[in-house]
Structure 1
Amino acid sequence: MASAESAPYRDAGAAASLTPDNESMDDGSDPHWLRKVILFLSGQTVSLFGSLLVSYAVFWYLTITYRSGVIMMLAAVFGFLPQAVVSIFGGVWADRHSRKLLIMGADGAIAVTTLALALIMMSGYDEVWLIFLTMALRSAGAGIQMPAVSALIPQIAPKRALIRVNGINGSIQSAMQLVTPAAAGGLYAWASAATGGSAASIVPIFFIDVVTAAIGVGLLALIPVGAVRRATDVPTGYFADLLDGVRYVIHHAFVRWLLVVFAIIFVLTVAPTNLTPLMLVRSFDAGAQQNVVLLAVLEIAFSIGMMLGGVAVASLFAGRSRIAMIVASSLVFGVLAIGLGLSPNVWVFFGFMFAIGLAVPFFSTSSMTLLQETVEPERQGRVFGFVGIVMAVAMPFGMVVFGPLADVVPIELLLVAAGILTFVVVGLAVWLPAGRRAIVAAREASAAHDPSAGAAAVESLMQRENAS
């Protein structure tokens, strides 16, 4: 799974400052930032291609073979929960160590794990628990990668370009998600026909993932990245940094609010829509071979939407309010989930998946950019680690609820119920006083485009809360 060389992290106190390398980026004097961004995005794109091939092939194999909500639940648990556990430490590692080397090490470990699974399955052993184990190990690697990748981007790109870099990155990822379902569908169908539909049909895709991971690591090795250092030399320990990150998230009004919104979206929208492939093969069943084609079309429709949404965010909406895009897209997710559940035929179903994909960059790109703009650089690894924890816990938690229900209740009904709940809960998160205050603080910090403004906004907010 794709998700750097900074100098060794220096233990320090609470005060922070950027290195000269980062400062030069802020005033636009670094002539090499664009080259760094291109190399970084290129490496991540190649690695992502292989990872998506594996993800689609494994998920389709489990869906078509078992047609079980419980199996889908277990796939979500093993695919996301380890990331949550590791992210507790991954965020701190991203602030204490080389983010570049963390990404390279995690990607390499994921590739080795995938290679081991391929070799074992070639010997004829293909029990489902082995697939779940590999999913868990890959997820653990993502727990290291995700905060390091998110914190590395503002190190190599100037703040004035963050929304565009994130938007372009989202569009590239969406383009990969457009290409890889077709590639995965063709490879899976060919291998499935050759192996009689056994688990060995996904082995060739595992080898492709190993090669793309090696290319991604090699490109990342070419990027020099400066260190993010702190102003004082007062040493702190690992757990002190971890506790500092926890306190920061608790007391930072906007970060705390955004984590709540992430949890809502992942429990009530992402988890239920993760059942759409199962709904497709149940409600619009077209036979084993045709189901692979329909599953590929479903992912392609979603990916086209994401790609167009990413282009729109990077070009047409780069100067728009990040908060407005987060809130609007969150409410739209609820409406579209209802539409999925009420789809009268497969083409309308594909249309709603396209619309969901279109809305995703307005939520994800705006959220990541706003965090990068408002959180101090030396705390970004920990903050993105907590974001990863919330996403990785909320998704399997939602699937623990919706997965078993999908075996006793029509998935269509679950999608409608989840959509209504999303609309109501997000509305409350925006309407309640705490949400309104957090939004005001984030707007103040984003308008300044200065990490220190985030702290000032939070301090101002806390003073107003104490006064009230």
Structure 2
Amino acid sequence: MNLNIVQDHSQLWKKIALFLISQNISLFGSSVVSFSIIWYITLQTSSGKWVMLFTICSLLPQVLISLWGGVWADRYNRKYLIMLADGFIALATLGLAIAFWAGYQRMELILAVSLIRSIGAGIQTPAASALYPQIVPMDKLTKVQGINQTLNSVLMLLSPAVGGIMLGSLGIFWAFMLDVISASLAIAVLSFIRIEKVVRSAEIAPVFTELRQGIDYVLNHKLLKRVLLCFGVSFFLITPAAVLTPLLVERSFGNDVWRLTAHEIVWTVGSMIGGVFISLQGDFKDKIRTVAICLVGFGVTFALLGIAANFSIYLLIMGIAGFFMPIMATAQTVLIQENVENAMMGRVFSLIQIVTGSSMPIAILFFGPLADIVSIGSILLVSGVLLAVVGVWYQMTNKRAGLN
């Protein structure tokens, strides 16, 4: 009997490990090619217009398709949906690589393929997020998400370096091919995992009916309504720190490349430490309070970034801010996974993706022009204070509602 338990436990962790490996291999290839494309466009055009168009083509389709992606994730086998999306992205990238190898190197082609890749990501992301509770026991979700956040941070540290080496030494063709190879490996690894389709109690309805059911489910769920609102407002207020801080470094401390590099590295290292902390912690008993503390932590650190006069102190604060990101992301994600029925998981995560995917572009349309009128430090100070207020509000309203 004990031997069977040990074997079952071993098989469970083997399945979890294979899934994490698969998704992080896919993420690595996608990150490398994204960095390579943005740098290639910058070097070839020196045009803000082309960078803006690439950003729109990379983000907007993902947001638009994710509603359908959520319905499909609840309707079909999520494993095969992830594999098909990865394959779809890989084929589009392979076509782009062949076109560049043949000498057809047009910016319009890069934009078209970026749009296709974004559609694939919009299908893959809700399915992957919804799949975790299917294969991971509830009491292990936080630990597994912590491991995943740590792996994500490591890859985000490596991706720019690998992208730069590929673009500078081998050319963008090989950056494209790295993504094709990594997607193929991710599909191959995922194929070894046996995952059943989610059993649904309700009959399959038309897509738009199921879309409405997903929206109604969230709006009638006391906790999910607050989580969705928290995601929207917090991502809006996080945008100045996420997007404008490189400009703050250049304006306040100098335009040396090493400063911008250090700025990115300390955030990622802080995130890695946060991910390791979650993995060791194992779980958070009160996830709402954990999220609230992280939001207040973000608010305080972002406000301090706005008034930091010394670059070393600035980097220290940035590293501390990075520490909070995986903790907040994990606590919020696991909170959703623990409180949503499996048959609705895909649609709920698609709505989360729409809110987070649209909040930051909307925010930058406001904060970008504002940064040319008032100081970025002032923007960070005000947005940081408001973010801390959101954290306090999130804790108080959920506590009054008897949620945790």
TM-score calculated relative to the size of structure 1: 0.77
Aligned CA distance change for structure 1 residues 239 and 356 (closer, same or farther; 3 Å): same
Q: d(CA) in 2 for partners of 1:69 and 1:402?
A: 17
Question: What residue in structure 1 maps to residue 226 of structure 2?
Answer: 257
Unaligned stretches of 5+ in structure 2? Answer: none
Q: d(CA) in 2 for partners of 1:175 and 1:225?
A: 27
Letter in 1 for 2:193: I
Q: d(CA) in 1 for partners of 2:127 and 2:391?
A: 29
Aligned CA distance change for structure 1 residues 420 and 70 (closer, same or farther; 3 Å): farther
Q: d(CA) in 1 for partners of 2:260 and 2:36?
A: 10
Find 1:215's aligned residue among 150, 164, 185. 185
* TM-superposed deviation, 1:97: 0.6
* TM-superposed deviation, 1:345: 4.5
Letter in 1 for 2:150: S
Matched, 1:364 2:334: no
Matched, 1:300 2:265: yes
Which residues of 2 match residues 35-434 of structure 1 at below 5 A? Answer: 35-60=14-39, 74-122=53-101, 128-190=107-169, 202-231=172-201, 234-270=203-239, 272-281=241-250, 283-286=252-255, 291=257, 294-316=259-281, 318-431=283-396, 433=397
Q: d(CA) in 2 for partners of 1:135 and 1:75?
A: 7
Letter in 1 for 2:13: L
Q: In 1, are the aligned partners of 2:76 and 2:197 still within 8 Å (CA)?
A: no
Secondary structure of 1:222's counterpart equals coil
Q: d(CA) in 2 for partners of 1:274 and 1:153?
A: 30
Question: What residue in structure 2 maps to residue 15 of structure 1?
Answer: none
Greater fraction of residues in helix = 2
* TM-superposed deviation, 1:129: 4.9
Q: d(CA) in 2 for partners of 1:111 and 1:409?
A: 43
* TM-superposed deviation, 1:328: 0.7
Q: In 1, are the aligned partners of 2:65 and 2:122 still within 8 Å (CA)?
A: yes
Q: In 2, are the aligned partners of 1:91 and 1:147 still within 8 Å (CA)?
A: yes
Q: In 2, are the aligned partners of 1:67 and 1:278 still within 8 Å (CA)?
A: no
* TM-superposed deviation, 1:85: 0.7
Aligned CA distance change for structure 1 residues 323 and 339 (closer, same or farther; 3 Å): same
Q: d(CA) in 2 for partners of 1:385 and 1:240?
A: 15
1:377-421: CA deviations, max 9, x gaps?
111111111111111111211122223334554433333332233
Q: d(CA) in 1 for partners of 2:249 and 2:128?
A: 34
Aligned CA distance change for structure 1 residues 330 and 298 (closer, same or farther; 3 Å): same
Give % identity.
37
Q: d(CA) in 1 for partners of 2:130 and 2:294?
A: 24
Q: In 2, are the aligned partners of 1:272 and 1:415 still within 8 Å (CA)?
A: yes
1:272-331: CA deviations, max 9, x gaps?
4123334445555556xxx3x554443332221111101111212624321111111112
Letter in 1 for 2:233: I
Aligned CA distance change for structure 1 residues 337 and 77 (closer, same or farther; 3 Å): farther
Aligned CA distance change for structure 1 residues 399 and 77 (closer, same or farther; 3 Å): farther
